[in-house]
Amino acid sequence: MKSQIFAAAALITMGMLGSANAQAPAYAAPPPGPVYNWTGCYVGGGGGYAFWQQDSFVVSPGGVPLTASQSNGGTGWFGQGQVGCDYQFQLRLPLFTFISPEVVIGAFSDIEGGSINGSSSFPGFTGSERESSSWAVGGRAGVLVTPRFLTYFDGGFTQARFDGVNYNFAFAGGGPSGVSLAAQTYNGWFIGSGFEYAFTWLPINGLFLKTEFRYSQYGGNDGVNVPLSGSVAGFPPTGAVLNSQKATEFISTELVYRFNWFGR
């Protein structure tokens, strides 16, 4: 009799447990966090450090070089502003189906201003020369190493403004010579490389940190002829120019705010 009672109790207990398990909701893992998409437009601001260098020589009105080429340069800090738009997509390679990197391509424009001070000289004369501003427009292409970390290359067209130069005599105690070089805007091209990191963990969405190294060259292979004025004992002769070929390098860091208006 006792054994029958115990068996009945066991059956009732098992039935209650089974009913409780049936009513308990199954455990569900939390949904994965959202993956940021780099498609969209942005603005940025920051600054950096730059240096420029040039090779220059004096040319007669008839196009004959009058001096040997001399090298000069300058260094300094600058501020920078930038606007641009990017588009993110997955690149599928037909021959390498196991590789499908996330790629970002885009277009941008930026402007730089500062005091990148240096020198300009030719035999008997020397003066201070400054790159005061530059701007660039171009494109970039990169690969997302992680969803938040982009590495890229860029390139495009650029202009740089160099202020005029008032030359002094290049000897001890030398003062103003009366010879000067006109201010000039130089056209050129640039290439660069950098990385960008998305601060997706901050309470403000859309903030990024970008760092880039850029090389720019101005004047092509033949340089730019910049007018000289004034002379001392007939040198440089009236109508002479300074042929200058310039190049700049800089590294910059910007804080970027991305609107992501067109993000998928």
At 8 the pLDDT is 44
At 107 the pLDDT is 98
pTM, 2 dp? 0.82
User: pLDDT tens, position by position, for the chain (264 residues)?
Assistant: 444 444 444 444 445 445 544 454 555 555 544 556 899 999 999 999 999 999 999 999 999 999 999 999 999 999 999 999 999 999 876 665 667 789 999 999 999 999 999 999 999 999 999 999 999 999 999 999 999 999 999 999 999 999 999 999 998 888 999 999 999 999 999 999 999 999 977 778 889 999 999 999 999 889 999 999 999 999 999 999 999 999 999 999 999 999 865 444
Give start and end residues of each alpha helix (H) in the chain: 2-23
At 7 the pLDDT is 46
User: Which strand (E) or helix (H) includes residue 167?
Assistant: strand 165-169
**DSSP letters of 54-110?**
EEEEEE-TTS-B-S--EEEEEEEEEEEEEEEEEEEEE---TT-TT---EEEEEEEEE
Q: How far apart are CA 65 and CA 259, in angstroms?
A: 53
At 198 the pLDDT is 92
At 91 the pLDDT is 81
At 94 the pLDDT is 67
At 201 the pLDDT is 78
Q: Which of 219, 224, 214 is nearest to 248 (CA)?
A: 214
Q: Which of 219, 226, 230 is nearest to 53 (CA)?
A: 219
